Structure 1
Amino acid sequence: MRKDKEKVIGEPMTDEQVAVFLQARPYADESPDLHVLTRAYRGLRVEDFERFVVMFKAAGFDLNATDAQGNTFLQTVKTHAQGNDYVAVLEAAGAR
């Protein structure tokens, strides 16, 4: 990137924009809880994901739901090279 160009990430998301991720629904037999978490993880910056996790838990979703192989979302994110900040958010919220 040129020195005179500043990286633009975008405007901070509102709570309403973050909450939209709670409406995601799975396409097949996937766990609704895991699907919602995955969509938010892929679409939100870590600071927005942190707010999302609070909303997710308040809505009654399970932070420790497992996939077909028995892995929690936290276990999956721990395998991602760039997932450390998200892991910290999940662990702080009680994910196992």
Structure 2
Amino acid sequence: MAKEKRQIIGEPMTDDQVKVFLDVQAPADGTSRDLHVLVTAYRGLREHDFERFLGYFKAAGLDLNATDLQGRDFVALIADQRNAEAYIEAINSARA
């Protein structure tokens, strides 16, 4: 039986907890590491924590415009997700 993932709502994340997403390694299928890091952070962080993460992402010299093997960037990959709007706004702001 799989363990349930405990959802933490309302507890603030520390900077170290947000930065841990920078250490994600891309799969060996040729996926852009930078894009994989962004998507993993999107899946694991709340909106305001994702905004904070983007500052660390940029400071680490990672590419906000990274694409997958089909040429899709972060926005293209998440655009059809129901809660994507705030994340798209955050990355567009970070790109500016």
- Which segment is superposed worse, 76-85 or 51-60? 76-85
Q: Aligned-residue CA RMSD in angstroms?
A: 1.4
Runs of 4+ aligned residues of structure 1 deviating over 3 Å after TM superposition are none
> What TM-score, normalized to structure 1?
0.85
Counterpart of 2:75 in structure 1 is 74
Amino acid at match of 2:35: L
Q: TM-score, normalised by structure 2?
A: 0.85
Aligned to 2:17: 17
After superposition, residues 1-96 of structure 1 pair within 5 angstroms as 9-28=9-28, 29-94=30-95
Letter in 1 for 2:25: R
Task: Give the drift of 1:79.
Answer: 2.1
The whole-number CA distance in structure 1 between the counterparts of 2:59 and 2:53 is: 10
Aligned length: 88
Distance in 2, Cα, partners of 1:77 & 1:90? 12
Structure with larger Rg: 1
Task: Tell me which residue corresponds to 1:3.
Answer: none
State the identity as a percent. Answer: 53
